[in-house]
């Protein structure tokens, strides 16, 4: 934007009501409308988040139509597992570059919804079950995309944690978990990276459609978090257009043929909608257009396809989680004969189905890439199983050939996973089990050789009933177009695995915290687990899991020592720890910091992740790693006070290799926020005791009563206090005597609530 470019508000002031209303909805499926006479061009928005899916303007939303070839980077399930914000930002830059070359103004991503259940069909597009991981990874991706003059669109805002009935269902979630779990990642991205747009979700939240919720789109997003961009609807997410624009939902997509534009005009004409509301939305749209114009032309083509494919391979290798590696089964020796078994080795599952489906510039497969490492005559392939009913091969014959091959080779690398139809946008999974024929194949292979490596291809976690029988397991997720090469890199040690799980792998689906509440009934989904999402639930209930959140092995080992935590002048906590690579290979360790407060007076998880860092170390190298735990991240949402509150006390900072592999510990005292809630007759006696003004008065009244009087109980009488501390203050008047009369209680409340001069 040049100095001569009019400000958005100035441009909007010159538009008619009809022109302003028209700008608030799409012109085609993928473009906005323009007003040529006012110098407002149309701009294009396209699907992401792991690759550009630019279709013709007549294309569809779910990927049935073709799209231009683009680099398919690892989806969020794989990219997030790197826990490396620097790498993620580089991928974001590449995505921004490809979008800019194709004249795309906004890339629709990243997806930040919490993985509440492994059944969510769209989990492959989401980062984690934890909001800090989601927020940090999401902010890095936004920074990278927007550094190329292209906008990001953080989605799906908010509490969109299932695909079943996603366009109507109400996510009924209490305010503390809504704030602390489901909104916190979005807040992190908005405050740290200021995305150009936020996409509102289809669903309702506590009965109100996200697209028409002023609390969500204006009070929280703009007034509290300071978001200054545009809110765009998910495609078809608008229920009532006039209500949505009044709530702060600026741009409705896709085109609706002008139907809802007319509704806006009519509402302004009849006085039910202020024209100033339309002006605000239109100003935000013009501002987005000007931002995209300012960045246009900064990135020149053609696309360096080879460089982006190499980055995709690097990112894929960094997203592979080594779950298990007994007897140093991995890496595979270059002289070993290898049986590569499983259709996914030849025809990889590299992305999920639905609106994010990218047409890749090329596609690696693990079978060929393994053959490159193994050398001539050392790698052999068998299909092993079918994934489609259209495959007319004989299943028994496929299994027999695979078992025969495994028995004759040094190592069997068995590719197992979910068929594409098992997980996709638009519907949820029914279970977390691998197909029966794949499990039967694994059993048969284990019957002829103990040297088995399982490589998993799946967009969300699967049950691993064989985990104690297989020496090596690699969670390879969905890794994008270069995943086949990346898997071979890890199998043969060219890449030392460093990824960590961003979601817990349970032993059974029944152990998942949302098990009894997922899916919902009668259009409502009760988030009955509250704060206890993912690892928070498993730790609170002390449940065994297959592999914990944050887990991931390496071909080297790391030692943690000398942990120290100190509170800075701004209240943030600096946590320092010494990390040493004690093995003989260069590697990376994801250092995780979990916090807890033993003497907390509120319900809390056992521990919560608050910071992390990916640290590269050469063999024998030692590095002092410093991470900052933000004071704001230690706060909980106080429902009564309607604000964030940091509870005072001695906080524990566990420095860990996973949520259950705690390596070092430090403590630091935190000064709590002053919290003085107004007293009412419904306030409890315990709350009155804790009040800085009322507390001493109540104690004085009680001390004046004689022994045996119920009103003479003092706070130090622990057992008796437990019995009556929840009694409403107003009901103390029922006890004999005049010390707690109704008049006394009312005077006490008035004194406690009287305005006081600041100290």
The catalytic residues are 234
Distance CA 267, CA 23 (A): 16
Distance CA 233, CA 203 (A): 11
Q: Which residues contact 277 (CB under 8 A, 6 or more apart)?
A: 245, 246
Phi, psi for residue 258 in degrees, rounded to 5: 85, 0
Residue 406 near residue 448 (C-beta atoms within 8 A) = yes
Q: Which helix (H) or strand (E) covers residue 98, if one does? A: helix 85-101
Strand, coil or helix: 515:
coil
Distance CA 354, CA 39 (A): 35
CA-CA distances (angstroms) from residue 120 to 115, 123, 124, 164, 551?
7, 6, 9, 8, 22
Residue 197 near residue 229 (C-beta atoms within 8 A) = yes
Distance CA 401, CA 386 (A): 13
Distance CA 93, CA 100 (A): 10
Tell me the pairing of strands 151-157 and 170-172.
unpaired
Residue listed under structure tokens 């089990």 = 433
CA-CA distances (angstroms) from residue 2 to 38, 269, 284, 713?
16, 36, 18, 73
Distance CA 165, CA 428 (A): 10
Distance CA 533, CA 115 (A): 9
Strand, coil or helix: 337:
coil
Rounded to 5°, the CA angle 554-472-607 comes to 55
Q: Which residues contact 181 (CB under 8 A, 6 or more apart)?
A: 114, 131, 531, 533
Distance CA 200, CA 178 (A): 15
Q: Where are the strands (E) in 569-648, listed by range?
A: 573-581, 587-597, 608-617, 622-629, 636-638, 643-645
Residue 80 near residue 132 (C-beta atoms within 8 A) = no
Taking alpha carbons only, the member of 705, 700, 689 closest to residue 738 is: 705
Phi/psi region, residue 103 (left: phi>0; alpha: psi -120 to 50; beta: rest), is left
Strand, coil or helix: 137:
helix
- The two tokens of residue 683 are 């306030």
To the nearest 10°, the Cα dihedral for 405, 406, 409, 412? 130
Taking alpha carbons only, the member of 536, 613, 608, 614 closest to residue 574 is: 613
- The two tokens of residue 253 are 């997509």
Q: Where are the strands (E) in 450-528, listed by range?
A: 452-457, 472-475, 505-506, 524-526
Alpha helices (H) along 648-690: 685-690
Distance CA 254, CA 250 (A): 13
């Amino acid at each position: 934007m040049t100095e001569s470019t009019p400000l958005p508000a100035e441009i909007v002031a010159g538009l008619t009501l009809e022109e302003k209303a028209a700008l608030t909805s799409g012109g085609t499926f993928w473009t906005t409308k323009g007003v040529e006479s006012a110098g407002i061009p149309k701009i294009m928005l396209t699907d992401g988040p792991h690759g550009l899916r630019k279709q013709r303007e007549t294309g569809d939303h779910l990927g049935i139509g073709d799209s231009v070839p683009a680099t398919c980077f690892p989806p969020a399930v794989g990219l997030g597992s790197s826990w490396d914000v620097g790498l993620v930002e580089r991928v974001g830059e590449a995505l921004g570059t490809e979008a800019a070359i194709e004249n795309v103004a906004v890339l629709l991503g990243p997806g930040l919804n919490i993985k509440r259940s492994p059944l969510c069909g769209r989990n492959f597009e989401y980062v984690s079950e934890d909001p800090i991981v989601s927020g940090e990874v999401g902010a890095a991706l936004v920074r990278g995309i927007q550094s190329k003059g292209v906008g990001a669109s953080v989605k799906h805002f908010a509490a969109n944690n299932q695909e079943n009935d996603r366009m109507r269902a109400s996510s009924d979630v209490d305010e503390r978990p809504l704030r602390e779990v489901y909104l916190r990642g979005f807040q992190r991205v908005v405050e740290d990276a200021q995305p150009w747009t936020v996409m509102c979700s289809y669903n309702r939240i506590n009965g109100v459609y996200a697209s028409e919720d002023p609390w969500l789109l204006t009070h929280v997003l703009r007034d509290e978090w300071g978001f200054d961009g545009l809110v765009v609807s998910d495609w078809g997410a608008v229920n009532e257009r006039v209500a949505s624009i009044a709530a702060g939902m600026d741009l409705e997509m896709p085109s609706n043929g002008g139907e809802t534009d007319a509704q806006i005009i009519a509402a302004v004409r009849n006085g039910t909608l202020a024209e100033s509301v339309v002006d605000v939305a239109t100003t935000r749209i013009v501002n987005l257009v000007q931002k995209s114009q300012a960045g246009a032309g900064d990135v020149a083509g053609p696309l360096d396809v080879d460089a982006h494919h190499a980055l995709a391979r690097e990112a894929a290798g960094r997203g592979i989680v080594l779950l298990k590696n007994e007897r140093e089964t991995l890496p595979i020796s270059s002289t070993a004969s290898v049986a590569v078994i499983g259709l996914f080795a030849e025809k990889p599952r590299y992305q999920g189905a639905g609106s994010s489906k990218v047409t890749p510039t090329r596609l690696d497969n693990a079978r060929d890439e393994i053959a490159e490492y193994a050398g001539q005559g050392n790698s052999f392939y068998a299909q092993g199983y079918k994934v489609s009913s259209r495959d007319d091969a004989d299943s028994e014959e496929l299994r027999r050939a695979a078992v025969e091959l495994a028995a004759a080779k040094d190592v069997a690398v068995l590719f197992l996973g979910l068929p594409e139809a098992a997980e996709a946008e638009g519907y949820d999974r029914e279970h977390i089990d691998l197909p029966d024929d794949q499990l039967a194949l694994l059993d048969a292979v284990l019957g002829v050789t103990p040297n088995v490596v399982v490589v998993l291809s799946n967009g969300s976690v699967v049950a691993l009933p064989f985990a104690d029988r297989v020496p090596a397991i690699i969670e390879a997720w969905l890794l994008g177009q270069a995943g086949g090469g990346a898997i071979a890199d890890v199998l043969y040690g060219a890449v030392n695995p460093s990824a960590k799980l961003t979601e817990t792998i349970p032993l059974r689906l029944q152990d998942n915290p949302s098990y009894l509440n997922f899916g919902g009934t009668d259009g409502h989904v009760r988030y009955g687990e509250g704060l206890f999402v993912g690892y928070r639930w498993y730790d609170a209930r002390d449940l065994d899991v297959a592999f914990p959140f944050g887990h991931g092995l390496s071909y080297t080992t790391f030692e943690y020592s000398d942990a120290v935590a100190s509170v800075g002048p701004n209240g943030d906590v600096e946590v320092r720890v010494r990390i040493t690579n004690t093995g003989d290979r260069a590697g990376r360790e994801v250092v995780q910091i979990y916090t807890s407060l033993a003497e907390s007076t509120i319900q809390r998880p056992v521990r919560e992740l608050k910071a992390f860092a990916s640290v590269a170390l050469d063999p024998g190298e030692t590095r002092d790693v410093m991470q900052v735990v933000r004071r704001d991240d230690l706060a909980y949402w106080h429902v009564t006070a309607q604000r964030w509150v940091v509870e005072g006390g001695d906080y524990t900072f566990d420095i860990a290799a996973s949520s259950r592999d705690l390596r070092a510990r430090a403590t630091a005292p935190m000064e709590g926020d002053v919290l003085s809630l107004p007293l009412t007759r419904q306030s409890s006696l315990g709350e009155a005791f804790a009040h800085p003004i009322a507390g001493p008065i109540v104690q004085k009244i009680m001390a004046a009563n004689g022994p045996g009087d119920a009103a003479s109980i003092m706070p130090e009488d622990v057992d008796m206090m437990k019995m009556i501390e929840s009694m409403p203050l107003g009901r103390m008047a029922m006890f004999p005597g005049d010390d707690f009369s109704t008049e006394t209680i009312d005077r006490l409340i008035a004194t406690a609530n009287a305005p006081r001069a600041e100290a």
